[in-house]
């Protein structure tokens, strides 16, 4: 009999909570738009920011120190 190969268990995905504030008018607009597209507001927001979430995960952020500038140069 051939041996069965055990499947490797997937690594659990860690989720983080992000909270944003919107005005009452923005919430109403979001709800109406999501109803018209037969989706949820959360899926709509995630789809809108998906390119930003995927493309910049491994980006190395560097800060450039400000150049030292004299206040007054007379000569």
- The domain limits of the chain are 24-50
CA distance 45 to 20: 11
So what's the pLDDT on residue 75? 63
**Cβ burial 3-24 (10 Å sphere, 16+ → b, else e):** eeeeeeeeeeeeeeeeeeeeee
The model's pLDDT over 51-74, given as tens digits with 9 standing for 90+, comes to 888 888 788 888 877 666 666 666
The model's pLDDT over 8-62, given as tens digits with 9 standing for 90+, comes to 889 999 999 999 999 999 999 999 999 999 999 999 999 999 988 888 878 888 8
pTM over 0.85: no
So what's the pLDDT on residue 26? 97
Assign residue 26 a region: left if phi > 0, alpha if psi is -120 to 50, beta otherwise?
alpha
| Nearest Cα residue to 30 out of 20, 47, 53, 22 | 22
């Amino acid at each position: 009999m051939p041996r069965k190969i055990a499947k490797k268990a997937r690594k659990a995905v860690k989720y983080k909570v992000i909270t944003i504030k919107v005005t009452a008018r923005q919430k109403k607009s979001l709800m109406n738009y999501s109803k018209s597209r037969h989706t949820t507001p959360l899926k709509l927001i995630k789809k809108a920011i998906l390119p930003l979430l995927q493309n910049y995960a491994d980006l190395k952020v560097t800060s450039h120190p400000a150049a030292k500038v004299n206040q007054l140069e007379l000569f």
